[in-house]
Chains A and B, each alone.
Chain A
C-alpha cells in the first residue's frame, strides 16, 4: 500500500469509529428520553 493509502486508512478508521459512536449515543439518548416524563427532562 502507498503511504497515502495508509494515511487515508488511518483517518477513515478513526472517522468511522467516532461517527458510529456519536450516532449510537444520540440514538440511545432519543430512545431513553421517551421513557422519562417531560417535567424531569432538563439540561443545564
Chain B
C-alpha cells in the first residue's frame, strides 16, 4: 500500500474495501481501470449467464408455434427494450433527485444511465428492425411503440449532446437535469399522440399478432432469465460509466488546478487572472 506514504492530502478517506482486497492478495495499490472486485465478479457471472442465454435461445428452446424460429430474436430484443426503458426512467428519477439534492452523485447517475440507455435503445431499434423484416416483411411500422422508441433515442442523443457541449459543470448539471426530467414525459406524449393518430387508421391493427402468442415453460424461463442477465449487464455498464464520469470530472479538476498553479507561478503575486 503505497498510498499511506502519501499522507500529504488524504482528502478522501480510504475505503475499507481496499484493505480487504489487499489482504486477499491483490497486490496493486490503486486501480488502473474502472473495474473493481464487484464488477469483475459481476462480469464473470454475466459472461456465464450470457452463454447460458445463448444456449437456451438457440438450442434448448423449441421454435414458437406462431412465430417459428424468429422468436429467438425476441430473446435479445425484449430484454434490451426492458433495460432501455428502465435506464430512461432512472435518468428521469435521478434528474428529479438532483434538482432537490444537487449532488455530483445523482448527476452522474442520471448521465451514465442516459448513455447506457442510448446504447440499449440503439440495440432495441436495430434488433427490432431485423425481427420486423423477418416476421412482418418490413423493418419499420409507424406504430406507437416503434416510433416512441425512436424518439427516445433521439431525445437521449439530445441530452448527451447537451452534456457533452456544456463545459461549466454547474451549468451542465442544471441544464441536463431539466432535459432529463422531461425525458419520460416527452416519450409518453409522443407515444400517446402516435397511438391516437394510428388508431384512426384501421390498418394499424393488422400487426396486432405480435402480442398474441402464448409463451410458457422453457420459453418463458429463457425470457425471464435473459431479462435478468440484461439487467445485470446494465448495472455493470452503469457502474463503469459512472466511474468514467467521476474520473473525467477529477481529471478536469486537476487540469484546472495545474493551469492555475502555472498561472500563479508566472504572475508571482497569486492574484486573480
Contacts and interface: CB of A to CB of B under 8 A. Distances in A.
Is A in direct contact with B (CB under 8 Å) within the complex?
yes
Interface of A: 1, 3-4, 6-7, 9-11, 13-14, 17-18, 21-22, 25-26, 28-30, 32-33, 35-44
B30 A41 contact: yes
Given A17-B123, A26-B34, A43-B31, A10 B76 contact: yes
Kindly state the interface size class of chain B when it binds its partner: 35 or more
B123 A13 contact: yes
A38 B2 contact: yes
30 contacts: A3-B134, A6-B70, A6-B131, A6-B133, A7-B134, A10-B126, A10-B134, A11-B72, A13-B130, A14-B126, A14-B127, A17-B122, A18-B119, A25-B34, A26-B240, A30-B34, A32-B244, A32-B248, A33-B31, A33-B33, A35-B251, A38-B3, A38-B29, A39-B6, A41-B31, A42-B12, A42-B15, A43-B15, A44-B36, A44-B38
Question: SS class of chain B's interface: helix, strand, loop or mixed?
Answer: helix
A14 B6 contact: no
Nearest to B248: A32
B17 to A, nearest CB: 6
Interface in B41-58: 54
Question: SS class of chain A's interface: helix, strand, loop or mixed?
Answer: helix
A25 B244 contact: yes
Given A3-B134, A13-B123, A21-B119, A44 B15 contact: yes
Interface in B25-39: 29-36, 38
B69 interface: yes
A29 B133 contact: no
A39 B134 contact: no
Contact of B9 (A4, A25, A36, A39): A39
Contacts of B240: 25-26, 29
Q: For A18, A35, A37, which residue has the most chain B Cβ atoms within 10 angstroms?
A: A18
List the 5 closest A-B pairs by CB distance, nearest first.
A29-B34, A6-B134, A43-B36, A35-B251, A38-B30
A35 to B, nearest CB: 4
Given A10-B126, A40-B12, 15 more contacts: A6-B134, A10-B134, A11-B76, A18-B123, A25-B34, A25-B237, A25-B244, A29-B244, A29-B247, A32-B244, A38-B2, A39-B3, A39-B30, A43-B34, A43-B36
